[in-house]
A and B are shown apart, each in its own frame.
Chain A
Amino acid sequence: MTDTSRRGFLKIAGLSLAGAAGGSALLGAGGGPEPVVEGLPADPAGAGRRLAMVVDLRRFGHDDELIERCIRACHQAHHVPDFGDDRKNEVKWMWAEDFESAFSSAEFAYLRSDLEGKPTLLLCNHCDNPPCTRVCPTKATWRRDDDGIVMMDWHRCIGCRYCIVACPYGSRSFNWADPRPHLAAPHADFPTRMRGVVEKCTFCEERLARGLEPACVEACANDEIVFGDLNDPGSKVRRLLAEHLAIRRKPGLGTRPEVYYIVEDPQTLIEAAPAAVVTGAAETDHA
C-alpha cells in the first residue's frame, strides 16, 4: 500500500505544481503589460551604467562660438540665470576657462602653442568619488548608483554651501539673488531655482529620461562632445578613450572625475586617425 500512496502523493504533487505554473502564467497574461507614458521610455537605459562625457578639444577651435552655443543651450534648458558682469551673483552650469587654468594641476610648461589660452569647456565632472555629496548635511546632493550622475534635489537644499567648498572644480553655484528676473526665456519644461539654493549640471538627467542626449551634446553638430556609458565596452566614449589620449581635471585629488578631454593636436586627427574612428564619429551614441 505504501507504493500506491507514494504514487498517489507524487501524482497530486505533480498536478498541483502544474496547476500553480499554469495559474501564474494565466495571471501574468491577464495582467497585461504595464501601461507607459508616451514619450517616456519605461526604462530608457537601465542600471549598471557609468555615464561620462568626452570633450574633444581637437574639434574646439580658439573661437568661442561653439563654446557659447553649448553654454547657451545648457543654460537655456535649465533656467540658469544670466547676471551679466555681476560676478558675485554668477550662476553657471557650464563655462570656459583657459586650458592652463582648467588643467592647473598638470603644471604644463612650454605648452604646445595651440593649447595656450585655448578656451576649454568646463562643467560638473560627476565624479565617481564626489566630495560634494559627502559633506551635504541634508542629502540634497548624492551620486546615483545606477548611472553615476551626481544629482541634486533642490527641494532639500538648505543653502549651507558646504558642497561649494568641497568641490575642487568650482562646478557649483549659489543663488545669492532670486534668479527669476534674470532668465532669458522661462519655459515649463524645467524648474527654476529660488534664492538660497546651490545648483550645478545634472548631466541633463531629465533629458536622458526621455531618451534625449544632454543639451550641450545636442548643440554640437560634429561630436565635439560625446556622451555615453563607460561600462559599455562598445560605447563611443569608450572607443574614443581607447584610441586617444584624454586627460581629466585634477585627477590627483582622487575624485575620479568622469569628464574627459582629448588633447591631441588637430593634425593628428587628419593624418593618423584610423578610418574607423572618423566614420564611427558620425554615428550617434544614445546614452
Chain B
Amino acid sequence: MARTAPTPSATPPDAIRNFCIIAHIDHGKSTLADRMLQITGVVDARQMRDQYLDRMDIERERGITIKSQAVRMPWEFDGRSYALNMIDTPGHVDFSYEVSRSLAACEGAVLLVDAAQGIEAQTLANLYLALENDLTIIPVLNKIDLPAAQPDKYAEELARLIGTDPSACRRVSGKTGDGVARLLDDIVREVPPPVGDADAPARAMIFDSVYDIYRGVVTYVRVIDGRLSARERILMMSTRATHELLEIGVISPEPVPSAGLGVGEVGYLITGVKDVRQSKVGDTVTNSAKPATGALAGYRDPKPMVFSGLYPIDGSDYPALREALDKLKLNDAALVYEPETSAALGFGFRCGFLGLLHLEIVRERLEREFDLDLISTAPNVVYQVTMEDGTEVVVTNPSEFPGGKVAEVREPVVRATVLAPSDYIGSIMELCQQRRGTLRGMDYLSEDRVEMRYTLPLAEIVFDFFDQLKSRTRGYASLDYEADGDVAADLVKVDILLHGEAVDAFSAIVHKDKAYSYGVEMAGRLRKLIPRQQFEVPIQAAIGARVIARENVRAMRKDVLAKCYGGDITRKRKLLEKQKEGKRRMKMVGRVEVPQEAFIAALTNDVAGADKRK
C-alpha cells in the first residue's frame, strides 16, 4: 500500500501508468480488479464487495462489464509514488468500438487468461487491437490456485501469440491475491509513462460516458495534451457544442473532484448535460477559449448492426415503453429506435443495436428496470436493396422489403474468429458452411487448439450461431467477429400468410436456398399454435406470389354440447364473459382470430435453430 499518493492535476506524466485488463468473460478480470483495489488501499476490507466496479445488477449477474470505468490507484515502487489508472474495458464483441477507445487511453495492457482454460477468441481479438495500438502487453495467467490449472501449457500458448518467452507470463490468483502486488510492480516497471505536450491546447479523448440520474452525464477522459481545469468552458470537437465544466476529478474508486487533469491523466468531467449523445465516445474535448486545431484520430459514430421490433405484450404499456426507451437512450449512445406498427403485435418500436448482446441487455433492462413485459421479433440485419430502376432502399424491417424488380440485395458480412480445441474442426467447418461462411485461414495456437478465420454473413450469426457453435463444441469454442462491409447475396423475402393475409412479424429475409425450410418450419409451427376457427385457415409461406409451403388449420367442428341444466347456467354465462374479455387480447388477421400468445410463442422459438437440430 502506498503511504503517499500523487495529487491529481499535479502528477507528472512519468509518475503515471495507464493500463487496462484484457480478459474473457469469466477469466477473473473483476476479481483481479477487486484485489488491486484492496492491495493499493483505495477500498478497505470493510467497503469491499465482489465486482466492486460493476455497477449495474445485470453486469454483476452476468459477470460482464457493459460500461467501462477508470480507477486511479496509488502505488509505491522503488521508493517513489505512482498513480496507476486502471481502465476497465467492456468484454464483448458488440462493444468493440468502446474497447478500442479504452485501449487508446492506455499505454499498457494486462492480458489476463484463465490458467485452466487458455485464451478465448474475444481476448485474442482484443489482444490484436492492443497490439495495433502499440500497447505494452503483460501476459498474466490467472486462477493458478485452481486444481485444473495448466499454467505451463497456457504460458506456452500465450508466449507464442505475443512472441515472448513463456517465463514472461506472470502467474496470479485474483481470488487469493497471490502475485497481485508483484504484478503492480511490473506494471510500473514495464508500461511506458504517457507522453504529451503540456503546453499545447488541451486535447482529451472521451473513452466512456455514463448517465447518472443525480449528476447528469459523467464523461470519462484521458488527457493527451495540455490540461483541463474546473470551471472553464470546454468544446466537443465532433459536435462543436460547448459546455461549462462543472466538475472534474478522478475516480478512486468513488469520484473525487480535483483542480483539473494534466497530461496523461485519466478522470471524469461533469457538464450538466443529460444525454450521452452530447458526450460521444471517441470524441475530443478541448478548451473552447483556446481550442486545439485538430481532433484526435479514431472517432466514429456508433452504427446499429442488428434490428428487432420491441412490443409491449400489454398494448396499454406502449407509452411506458416509449418513456423507458427515452430514459435508456440517455445512457446508451448506440441505441436507436423509431415507432413501428405491426398487425400481429400492435404498437411498438423498431430498435437498432450494436449486436445481439446489446439487444439482450437493452431488453432485459427494459423488463427489469421498467417492469415491462416485452416481445421482440427475430433480430435482423440491415439490407441495401437496389431496384432495377436504380432506386436504393435500406431495409431494417423484413416486412418492408420492396416488392417489384430488385436488381441486387447486399447484406453485411463479418470477419469471424473461432478458437476451439482441434477435435472440433470438422463440426465447426460444417456449421460455418451451413451458414454460408468462407474459410479465410486456420492456425494452430498450440498442439490441440486452433484458430479458424471465416467470413460470414452477419444475418447468419444473429440466427443463434453462437448457441450452435457452443453446443457443437461442448462449450469449448469461443467466437469473435467484426464488421467487414457488405456483399451481394441471393436473398429473398419469405412472407407468411394467414388466410391469404401476410403477417408482418413473420416476414423474413433469407437466402434463397433456405427459404423453403424457413417457410415449412414457420407454417408448421403456426399450424400448431393457431386455434381452429369455424372455417378452414390456410397458412402459406410465399416468395412474392409464389407459395412455397402450405399448412391448414382445419375448421373447428364443435365448441359446445356440454350439459346446460339449472346449475350450469351461471358457469356458462361467466365463461362467456371471460371469453369476451379474452377476445380483447385477440389479434384479427382478416377474419382469423389469433391469440397474441400464439404469435409470441411462434416468435420466441428459434426457427433456424429448430430447423438445424432436425
A binds B: no
